[in-house]
Structure 1
Amino acid sequence: MSLIKRVLVAFDGSKGSMDALRQGIDLKKEGLKIELTVVHVVKADPDPAFLTVAAVPPDLQRGEMIREFNKREIIKQGEQTVNHARKVLNQERVDAQNIILEGEPAKQICDHAQEKEFDLIIIGNQGLNKLDKMVQGSVSQRVSQHSNCSILVVK
C-alpha cells in the first residue's frame, strides 16, 4: 500500500515544471495507484471588485476595460500552458486532472494542496519568472516553506 495517493504537479510551462511533470508521469507509469493533478496558476487579479462601472469615471472605465482584456489574455495564456501539459500527458497515455488557479502561485499551490488533501507536491526548481525570484524568492522555496504536505523539488 502506497502512502502517496494524491499528487499535485505545479506547471508553468518552464523546463523545471516540465521536469516536474515528467516525474509525476513516471510515478504514475511505475504502477503507483496515484491520482495526478496538474495545476497552473495565473496572476490575473483585477482591481477591487466592489467598484461598479457606473461609479467609475469614464477615463478609468477605459482602464478597467484594458485590465479586463489583459485578464482574459492572461487566462488564455494559462489555458495554452495547461493544454501543453495535457498534450504531454496524452502522448504518455497518462490521465490527470488539469486545473487553472488564479492568484499568487505559491499561496494558491499550498492552499489547493491543503484543501484537496494532496500527499505530495512536485515542483520544478526554476520557473519562468526570474524577477519574482530575485524579489521574493522562488515559488518552489515558498511552497516548501508553507506547504502542509511533502514536496519533491525537481532539478
Structure 2
Amino acid sequence: MAEDLSINKGTREEQYQSLLPQISAIIEGEPDLIANLSNITAALKEQFNWWWVGFYLVKNDELVLGPFQGPVACTRIKKGRGVCGTAWLKATTLIVPDVQKFPGHIACSSVSKSEIVVPVIHNNVVVAVLDADSEHPDHFDATDQKYLEQLTGTIVFNAPSV
C-alpha cells in the first residue's frame, strides 16, 4: 500500500494518469470495500480539491451515503431523484454544468454549482455511484468522465450486495 500521494499539477489528463495508478496501489490487496472507497475519495479530494466527493451505495432500493470527503451530505436518495438517483436509474454517467438547471436537483449544499455522477456497475447492476461536486460552474468534462469511469471499473465488490 502506498503511504502518500504524489500530487501532480499538470493538465487534468496528466493528473488522472498520475493518480489512478497510485489509487490502484493503495487499494491493491485490500479486501474491505469501505476502506477502499474511503481511500479513493480521499485521493480524489486531495488531488482535485473538489467541494465534495463520495460514494452512495445501493441498499434496499435506495442510495445510502457511503465514504466521502467534504461537508455533511444527503443521507438517502431515491432512484430517479436528483443527479445521483438519475445516474443510477439510467446506469450512465451524468455531467451537470449547472446543477440549478437540472430538473429535480437535490441541493445538499448551496455551494455546489456543477456535478458529475458515475455509476459503479458490478455484474451488469449499478451497486453504487461516485458523486463529485464543484463550487465552480461547468467544472467537469469528458476527461473526468473517461478517467472516473475507468476508476469505478476497478472497484471490487466481493459480496453480492453492498
Task: Tell me the TM-score range normalised by the shorter chain.
Answer: 0.3 to 0.5
TM-score (norm 2): 0.33
More strand by share: 2
Bigger relative contact order (CA 8 A; separation at least 6): 1
More helix by share: 1
